Amino acid sequence: MSDFTLPVLPVLLCIVVLFSVLVCGVFLYVQARQKVRLSSDENSNTTGHVWDENLRELNNPMPRWWMWLFYGNIVFALAYLWMFPGLGGFVGMLDWTSEQQYQTEAKKLNDDIEPLYAQFRTQPLEAVATDTRAKAIGQRLFLNNCAQCHGSDARGSKGFPNLADKDWLYGGSLQAIQTSIANGRKGMMPSMLAAVGDDKDARQVAQYVLSLSGLENDAVKAQLGREKFKAVCTGCHGGEGTGNPLLGAPNLTDKVWLHGGTETAIVETISRGRAGNMPAHEALLSADQIRLLSAYVWGLSNTVQTASLQ
């Protein structure tokens, strides 16, 4: 047991467990040995508790069947500790581990579902995205692995991209989506406040960014922020602010905002930066599952004609 770092701890655990079982057995034996005292004194075999003037609580021993049930539990506990892990570093006579059990059950599950995934393995992803059964599998994979961040409807929330529109940070092709799911993505925009100047300059840049999307803005401040944007932001977002999928730099001209499209939100982004992390699922999902999940996600933002395999 890797949790125990000192040699004495497994031994101490064994002593505590076995002592606890022994105490239970001794206590049960002592209670079972108690005899009913027959006497003319009506209080001779009571606990002394009286209710409603004459209702007394007797102190009789437990029934025999109940006693033997407890003895059976003790025997079962000792047999379990002998066969399975439970006594410190002793692994049990059956050499059972939870990891081994998991691997066995996972292999059985994979063997059972292998024919199901095999029918989609050689098909193009575009064709998989149109199949009703493949979409049903992809939806369940999405709900189990992606809905926690992107929502059950895949429309995301603040800081989590909407997967049901045409706006993609790293590209919306099937290959790009498959890469995102398998390898994950790490987005990072550092704080640019020192580069643009001060808070006043950041607000001017924010006004220019608002103008790129045709949103309400202060034209004077936007014009002042234009040169600062060109000098500081075009390396990632491009000269026209249309973004760069290779870097995950968002398009600033499409009115789609991951962290909010107000002046306050944009200034906060410039001042503090943003960091995003989508974990890789390559170790969590099989290659077949990633393919079906990618096809499902791609289908959310692409109109496809549903088909069904015969």
The CATH number assigned to the domain with range 187-278 reads 1.10.760.10
pLDDT of residue 3: 58
Distance in angstroms (rounded) separating the CA atoms of residues 104 and 89: 23
Neighbours of 149 (CB within 10 A): 14
DSSP per-residue string spanning 83-145? HSS-BTTB--TT---HHHHHHHHHHHHHHHHHHHHHHHHTS-HHHHTTBHHHHHHHHHHHHHH
216 backbone dihedrals φ, ψ, rounded to 5°: -60, 130
Domain boundaries, the chain: 8-83, 106-184+279-300, 187-278
pLDDT for the residue 36: 57
- Tell me how crowded residue 6 is: count the other CB atoms within 10 A of its CB: 8
**Does 106-184+279-300 match 187-278 in CATH topology?**
yes
Does domain 106-184+279-300 sit in CATH 1.10.1370.40? no
pTM value is 0.69
E strands, the chain, in order: 46-51, 55-58, 185-189, 274-278
Give pLDDT tens digits along the chain (310 positions).
455 567 778 888 888 889 999 999 998 888 777 665 555 555 567 777 788 877 877 777 778 888 899 999 999 999 999 999 888 778 889 989 999 999 999 899 888 888 989 999 989 999 999 999 999 999 999 999 999 999 999 999 999 999 999 899 999 999 999 999 999 999 999 999 999 999 999 999 999 999 999 999 999 999 999 999 999 999 999 999 999 999 999 999 999 999 999 999 999 999 999 999 999 999 999 999 999 999 999 999 987 554 443 3
Which residues fall within 8 angstroms of residue 285, CB to CB, at 6 or more apart? 141, 145, 181, 293
